[in-house]
Structure 1
């Protein structure tokens, strides 16, 4: 099926290129890559069902409440966003909004909506739909929708200027908001969905304007999406703006990596998540390939609760930075498509600063710092001070299949300098509860976003603040200042300073940068990563 690009009239965008989100992403870490044979040649064929194997269960069908990669792979397909972000350049492109303007103080954002867009229940997209969505996300709050609520921090309300024009206002400068409107968490759902309670929004009844709709949702088991007939408003980043090629996508949960790989190689699945290095030969042997891209945002790392146990000692947190051999983690567990973390931001993120000298592996330096802080080796090799063992637990969830082996190797490395790291694997739900109550020593995770503001939502004292810390300078001032910086160079400098401040306070101990590695069968074409390294299936098709 051939699709033609619709012509749209675009008015000049105020302050175009102002935000760091528009800084070239490719220069910050490169684009997508693939192993194995190439994908089928076009033109695209219409029809067919893509069978996709997720490595863990989606947690909620609501895009506003989705946070794990495996969940977003599903929810991204049913919801459109006001703007889209080009994964190669980082530039913001039209989607549901064909034009937008930003006030000079970055407090007001006005969006003019495309004409003719409807939700899958037939109701039209209006400016009031946008207002109701943002109001509902604020009502959900940070406990239910942590990412979406953080993007709307300081939200003062939305004003409907006419049926297709809405102005979104904030109490203070909010330079990150324009890029945030490209995320699935701020995707626009129908007024009927926005009016539902948080729990009801997780049951697979969500109504969006996206290229697919929910056909079936089985919690912790599977999700089936069906093509949206009549879809004609695809993002400017898509290959075309009309209907998706696929008739259906069936997502099933296959936690075991070997089973996922075997199912792909045997033709029982068409694509799979989290293809590991040991899987590549089998995937390529079946005629498939592995597609991968680096995630922007905060890399995987240990976030310290600075109010608990030995982690209250800043000297301990500082000593752990050089105690970890990040290259060994990548070489032993992951493979060449992954990178060692070299800062508090991943290298593909706008505003990233290379701080590899600060996180260089130097176990002798780690031991010296602990010696100077009064932590002496005990009989079993674990250090002790005033009768207290140098020991802390780390909670983590299986949102990435390599988390446990990475932490097992990290555990060995830290033990070599006299630190006892206790592993506490949890389900996603259990981990969320422990995080919300700050019932942990270390929390191990990553967070993906193609904007440096992710430092604020991760570390600011007035945000989720999993470090459980009080106000501290200069970090909090820097995180606030970048919201009002309308010059991209100035904003990048502030974000760079904030990365240094996070390390100075020992709030994050980086390990590895996440890459999405997707196993794709020989008959599948057009599987694409969007700017935040999540999958977009609008352009995907099957050769038959």
Structure 2
């Protein structure tokens, strides 16, 4: 897949705006004030699932990123509580005239947790490390594949073309052409900066395929970043990850001395642990519990919805799904309004497309597919698919922002499908214990999954799903229009003018839903997190990307 970009115009005004926006002051530049060296207590957070490992480059799930986010930083960051890009390890960034070279001015007061200096050489080492991956690393490092398109073995099709340290604290990154995603993509947790010395000594790129997953090198168990917390230990037997405050942090040091993530897959158990005082907070409380949690003196922090829940379809596993009438029939069979009202929190909405309405490129003309079981049966009959069998899967041991209770959501969808004559073969696996790997490997005909936006970009939603045929998202390579859709998405992403780019994505969203329908968007949901009495300083993020260095823990 090529991600080389072309663009008709690259105006001086746009470049100037990008440069001005880059000069904002970082909220983290606080001169090292904060918790200091005294014992300021421990914040214990109940995690919904176990991390797969701790190298953010290979991470793909929110539970891993929840931990790594506290230890690592990128060149650019996200303003807490918003989706706005702000400086982090880079203080300024500026493109050349055609948008192919970006000069980053770096902070000169940062060291990695192992004492190694952060500088331009470290930046380039990181990018070359991410770029030069073996076959297993190219599969595991899927975020790089999404945003950069290719690795070193296919360099001509990569957005990333090289990095040069032009001064001790100045790095120039070359890309193949302008795109709306760069440099915003540098806020991704996967593209965080890591200690070159630790990467080399821990054989960080020594990843290998193992069974249905991967075996990770020693480094992935003891990663080294620049953030306000350092890695302590992972007691896998007891499901507990411990991080320690980085007292040498370049910005405001963390308010607590220790940060602990306790893996508690069951949501009701997380609530019981909060009530017992053994944890200080947890993510994704059941919506029916919000009022009761507040009445008990806890604080329920509701985020703005910035996600999509969808039913993915794999026509390579089930050729009947190649027929548009079959896909339309399945969509008409789903009572999504009832699902939203019964399974999701107040403020959730039925989706009309694969992105929320706050993102530029959302098509306001699209209406939700109507719930119509009779039409579903008629279409299945016309397609010769009456009584079709569907291997349909859902994940266990996890709650996600877009699906607080996967099993209940699955059962609602399954009931609707069976009501129109579809025979459902139920499959399930734990989130990081096979489910995600099975989806990637195409072992299910249909599955429920979702996406929380990494940053405010249409391409971050629909480009992630349909822009990379190598990843076979939604089986688009099985459809004759798959390559055309991928090419159209890249062309839209390369448009510099924001209004024109938004219009291009609106048109593509219409095509996806009205002509292609490669998967079935279900809903958008406003996820919440809850913290107990005495906990202050949590800033809810629409990206579900909370940073816990501002949290304090007091008495009840």
TM-score normalized by the length of structure 2:
0.82
The 8 Å contact of residues 411 and 422 in structure 1, kept in 2 or not, is answered as no
Please state which structure has a larger fraction of its residues in helix: 2
Alpha-carbon separation, structure 1, partners of 2:459 and 2:17: 16
Question: How far 1:337 moved relative to its partner?
Answer: 4.2
- Residue 120 and residue 44 in structure 1: after superposition, are their counterparts in 2 closer, same or farther (change >3 A)? closer
Distance 1:320 1:103 in 2: 49
Counterpart contact for 2:390–2:445, Cα < 8 Å: no
CA-CA distance at 1:75 after TM superposition: 0.8
- How far apart, CA to CA, are the structure 2 residues paired with 1:117 and 1:66? 24
**Structure 1 residues 55 and 142 mapped into 2: Cα distance closer, same or farther (>3 Å)?**
same
Q: Distance in 1 between matches of 2:325 and 2:475?
A: 18
Q: 1:165 to 1:327 in 2, by over 3 A?
A: same
Partner of 1:412: 415
2:519 maps to which of 494, 500, 508: 508
Residue in structure 2 matched with residue 334 of structure 1 by the alignment = 344
Structure 1 residue corresponding to 2:240, chosen from 222, 231, 237: 222
Of residues 427, 444, 447 in structure 2, which corresponds to 1:443?
447
Aligned 8 A contact 1:77 1:212 in 2: yes
Q: Deviations over 1:40-71 (max 9, x none)?
A: xxx99871100111111111111222222222
Report what 1:146 is aligned to. Answer: 142
2:497 corresponds in structure 1 to 487
Write the deviation string for residues 245-265 of structure 1: whole angstroms up to 9, x where unpaired: 111111011112111101112
How many residue pairs match? The answer is 492
Question: Residue 163 of structure 1 corresponds to which residue in structure 2?
Answer: 168
Structure 1 partner of 2:186: 181
Go from structure 1 to structure 2 and tell me whether the alpha carbon gap of 1:156 and 1:340 turns closer, same or farther (over 3 Å shift). same
Q: Give per-residue Cα distances to partners, 1:417-448, cap 9 Å, x unaligned.
A: 22233331112231233233222212321122
* Contact 1:215 1:224 (8 Å CA) reproduced: yes
8 A contact 1:86–1:530 mirrored in 2: no
Match of 2:228 in 1: 211
CA distance in 1, matches of 2:523, 2:179: 30
Please tell me whether residue 321 in structure 1 is matched to residue 331 in structure 2. Answer: yes
Asked if residue 421 in structure 1 is aligned to residue 424 in structure 2, the reply is yes
Between the aligned partners of 2:144 and 2:537, the Cα distance in structure 1 is: 28
1:462 to 457, 469, 480: 469
Residues 298-325 of structure 1, C-alpha deviations (whole Å, 9 max, x = no match): x111121122322122211122223212
Cα distance in 2 for partners of 1:281, 1:522 equals 15
Instruction: Tell me the SS of whatever aligns to 1:447.
Output: strand
User: For the structure 1 residues 355 and 202, does the alpha-carbon distance in structure 2 shift closer, same or farther, using more than 3 Å as the test?
Assistant: farther
Aligned-partner Cα distance in 2 for 1:516–1:17? 33
Cα pair 1:300 1:444 within 8 Å, conserved: yes
Aligned equivalent of 2:69: 76
* Cα distance in structure 2, aligned partners of 1:201 and 1:459: 34
Q: Distance in 2 between matches of 1:175 and 1:502?
A: 20
- Shift in Å at residue 398 of structure 1? 4.1
Q: Indicate how the Cα distance of structure 1 residues 92 and 262 shifts in structure 2: closer, same or farther if over 3 A, else same.
A: same
Q: Matches of 2:443 and 2:473 in 1, distance apart?
A: 10
Aligned residue in 2 for 1:537: 548
Q: Which residue of 1 aligns with 2:249?
A: 231
1:51-62 mapped onto 2 (5 Å cutoff): 51-62=44-55
1:509, 1:295 → 2: CA distance?
Answer: 18
SS at match of 2:359: coil
Point out where structure 2 has 5 or more consecutive residues left out of the alignment. Answer: 1-11, 23-32, 150-157, 208-215
Partner SS, residue 530 of structure 2: strand
Deviation at 1:541, TM superposition (A): 1.2
1:477 shift after superposition = 2.4
Match of 2:129 in 1: 136
Deviation at 1:405, TM superposition (A): 0.8
For 1:393, the equivalent position in structure 2 comes to 392
Q: Is the 8 A contact 1:322 1:366 kept in 2?
A: yes
State the match for 1:116 in structure 2: 109
| Partner Cα distance (1:161, 1:541) in 2 | 41
